[in-house]
Amino acid sequence: MFEFATAARIVFGRGAASGLVKIAREFGSRALVVTGRDRSRAEGAVQSLDCHWFAVTGEPTVQLIREGVAQARQSQAELVISIGGGSAIDAGKAIAILAANSGEPLDYLEVVGRGRSFDRPGLPYIAVPTTAGTGSEVTRNAVIGSPEHGVKASLRSPWMLARAAVVDPELTLTLPRAVTASTGLDALTQLIEPYVSARANAMVDMFCLDGIRRVAAALPRVLADGSDIAARESMSFASLLGGLSLANAGLGVVHGFAAPIGGMIDAAHGAVCAAVLPHGMEANIRALRERAPESAALQRYAGVARILTGDPSVSAEAAVPCIRELCREAGVLSLSALGVRRQDVPGLVEKAARASSMKANPIVLTGAELTAVLESSL
């Protein structure tokens, strides 16, 4: 038995953002519009609405969400629209649900907060991604940093699913190569981890396999030529499939580490995932081979390897060098280059072991195995 839930409506394709105002007017005309640093692309998409703007200039934090909620209430927003990358989308989801509920973010935040359930639905919420990686437009959680605890954790509720997700690949054409690389590898991580997850199911399998094929073919193309709209479209669709997959089958060791690392250093989520991905995969495959050789996850890793290599005879282990080569081509930085120090390892391992994403990993990794993953990623 499994359950599947996603955004109430998904609009995908080139030029899809041109229909945003029409969709928004189904819910109201006074909108809090959440963007990144540069709102220029967003302004044209919502110009006929009564817009109140809220900028997310980095990874969303508890304090930033408090400020966004205050602005949504003060402006009497009828809906919330996010136009931006994963940070803007997560912030918009959090603001929309908290604006309609009592209390403050830490009342509802997992792991470091009180983990309360929300009492009522949030303001209508529309997500418009401008990157191809997070899939956050179709997930039911928002990842929020708590600097005082040195960790990222999630707000989570079915009421946080968007009323509409508008995915327009043309919005990704101007992404810098480094952002294309980190978000693209985040998309790949969010397709591989749900596919081998302890909660994997037949419906998510379809999304994951198609998405992995798309990333394997399209990511090298967009890294070579950012104006390749067909490859951009394929990456946007793969990212969407990754969001659908992680929301309904969970993640694993890579995202288990990404939460505490992201709470400790100022680095893009996708860059952290890319740095850990080959090492996390290698540790999982080795642990499965040693302690659960009959596990279906090993066959699933073999399936990933066969897609990445094009060789139907290879074993699970062949996936790892393929991922390493893709990371090399993408210019992925090590965790040490991103700011993680060797003395940070014990604390990060302890936090990662408790992370919600770790619950769906296909096998429970020991403290020594988690330490080896992190040290190999430095």
> Is there a common fold for 10-171 and 175-377?
no
CB contact at 8 A, 226 and 173: yes
For the record, the structure tokens of 216 come out as 């394997």
Scanning the structure block, which residue is given the tokens 């040195």?
A: 150
Q: What are the C-alpha distances in Å from 24 to residues 99, 117, 166, 177, 195?
A: 18, 27, 11, 31, 34
Closest CA relative to residue 4, chosen from 271, 250, 233? 250
What pLDDT, on the 0 to 100 scale, is given for residue 113? 85
- pLDDT mean for each 10 residues of the chain (378 residues): 88 97 96 92 88 93 96 97 96 98 94 90 97 95 88 91 98 95 96 97 96 97 97 98 96 95 88 96 98 96 97 96 94 94 95 92 97 96
| Domain ranges across the chain | 10-171, 175-377
pTM over 0.75: yes
In 117-219, at which residue ranges do the beta strands (DSSP E only) sit? Answer: 125-129, 141-146, 151-156, 164-167
What pLDDT, on the 0 to 100 scale, is given for residue 41? 81
Task: Say which CATH architecture domain 10-171 belongs to.
Answer: 3-Layer(aba) Sandwich (3.40)
What pLDDT, on the 0 to 100 scale, is given for residue 20? 96
Q: What angle do CA 231, 235, 238 make, to 5 degrees?
A: 140
DSSP characters over 158-184? GGGS-SEEEE-GGGGTT--HHHHHHHH
CATH of span 175-377: 1.20.1090.10
C-alpha span between 30 and 46 (Å, rounded): 11
What pLDDT, on the 0 to 100 scale, is given for residue 130? 95
For the record, the structure tokens of 352 come out as 């990662």
